[in-house]
Amino acid sequence: MGEGSGAARREGLHVHPSEDHEELRRLARRVADREIRPVAAQYDQSREFPWPVLERIHTAGLFDLQIPAPIGGAGLTAVEECIVQEELAAGCAGISLALVANTLALTPILIAGTPEQQSALLGPFTRQLRLAAFGLTEAQAGSDAGALKTRARREGDAYILDGRKRFITNGGVADLYTIFATLDGTPQGITCFAVERGTDGLSAGREERKLGIRASNTSEVVLDGVRVPAAMRIGGEGEGYRIALRTLGRSRATIAAAALGIAREALGCAVRYARERQQFSRPIAQLGAIEQMLGEMAMRVEASRLLVYQAAEHIAAGETSPLYSSMAKAFAADTAMFVAGEAVQIFGGYGYMEDYPVEKLFRDAKIYQIFEGTNQVQRMVIARTLVRGDE
C-alpha cells in the first residue's frame, strides 16, 4: 500500500474524502477483510444465509446508517452508506446486499413516515440486528411497477392486504416489510404499508436459486388476508407509487456503490494476476493486449466512482431528481459486468474456475444491471428527466 492521495484514491477513496469518511472507509474495509472475504466463497457455495457475518457487521456499527440520531441511529447520509457498501461489496456483494435491502425497505419510512412511525419502526433497528424487505415487484409488475395487483381494502381502522410479491431481497428473513398495494387496482391507488414479521397471513414463499449473490435471500412474499392497522400506513392513500420512486431514486446510489465495489475488486485481482502470471517468459502484464484491457478497466472504475459519489452527494443535499442516481446505477453496473468479464479473460482458463475469485465476481456483477430498475429503464429515466427539463 502506497502513501499519498494518489495511492489512497487507487484503493477506493472518493474525490474529496473528509477525515471522518476515511475513518469510516478504513473500518468498513477492515470488516470486509476480516469478516467477509474469508467466508465469501463458503457462503456462495453453501447458499446459507450469513447470519453470523451480518451480526458482526451490525456490531461494527455499519448497518442502517441513515436512521436519524434522535431515534438512536447514526444520522449519516447516502455518502457514508456508499462508502460502506463499496467496501463490503468488494468483500462479497451477496452478503452486503442484506444492508442495501434494509436501506431500500426503511427509506419509505424515512421519507414519508410520521415521527411516531419512525420512532416505533426504525428504533428497534438501532438496538439489534434486524432485517427489512421492500415489497414492490410482482410476477406481472417488474419494470412496470405501477401494474402491481396486490390489493389493500379498508376495513374499520385497518387494511386487509392480499397478493404475492416476487423476487424480494431479505423476503424470507425480514423482521419488517414495506409492502406496496393498490386500493382500487390502479397505479393511483398504490399505498405503502409497514408489516411486521409474524403478522397473520404474511409468509415467505419460494426462495430463489440464483446465478450470483447467493448469500442473499431472495424470496416470494405471500400476503393472504393480512390485517394491517391504519397506523402502519406509510404516507397517504394513493401516495405509494411516488414514495416507491423516490425511495428507488435514493437507494440506486447505494446499489451503484456495491457495483463499484465489485468492479474495483475485479480490477485488483486482474492486476495482481497479470503481474504474477508468466507466459512467453514474461509477466502477461507486459503484453500490450493485457495493458489495453487493464487501462480500460481502470478508467471505467474511476468514472464509476465519480458518478457514485456525485449521486450520493446530491442525495445527501436533499435533492430529489433521479438523474444522478440513475446515471451512477447504470454506469457502475455496466462497469462491474465489463470489468469482471475482462478479469475472467485476463485469468484465462483459471478465471473460469471456482478456485479463483473472479468467477464469483462475474456471476455477482450481472444482477446490478437488472434490479432496482434495469439499466434500460435507467437510461429511459435519464432521457425523460432531461427532456422534461426538471433535472
Sites of contact with ligand FAD (CB under 6 A): 101, 134-137, 142-143, 167-169, 210, 218, 367, 370-374, 376-377, 380
Least spacing, CB of residue 69 vs ligand FAD, in Å: 27
Under a CB-based contact definition with an 8 Å cutoff, are residues 202 and 177 in contact? yes
Least spacing, CB of residue 351 vs ligand FAD, in Å: 23
**What cell numbers appear for 58 in the block?**
451490525
141 vs 293 by CB, closer to ligand FAD = 141
Least spacing, CB of residue 319 vs ligand FAD, in Å: 23
Under a CB-based contact definition with an 8 Å cutoff, are residues 298 and 267 in contact? yes
d(CA 139, CA 141): 6
DSSP-derived pairing of the beta strands 282-283 and 278-279: antiparallel
Residue 231 per-residue DSSP state: G
172 vs 351 by CB, closer to ligand FAD = 172
Cα→Cα distances 84→61, 90, 242, 288, Å = 10, 10, 27, 35
85 vs 169 by CB, closer to ligand FAD = 169
Strands (E), the chain: 132-135, 151-155, 158-169, 176-182, 190-196, 202-207, 218-229, 233-234, 278-279, 282-283
90 vs 192 by CB, closer to ligand FAD = 192
**Options 35, 80, 342, 372, the catalytic residue:** 372
Position closest to ligand FAD via CB = 142
186 vs 376 by CB, closer to ligand FAD = 376
Least spacing, CB of residue 228 vs ligand FAD, in Å: 18
372 is catalytic: yes
**What cell numbers appear for 100 in the block?**
442495501
Least spacing, CB of residue 173 vs ligand FAD, in Å: 12
Active site residues: 372
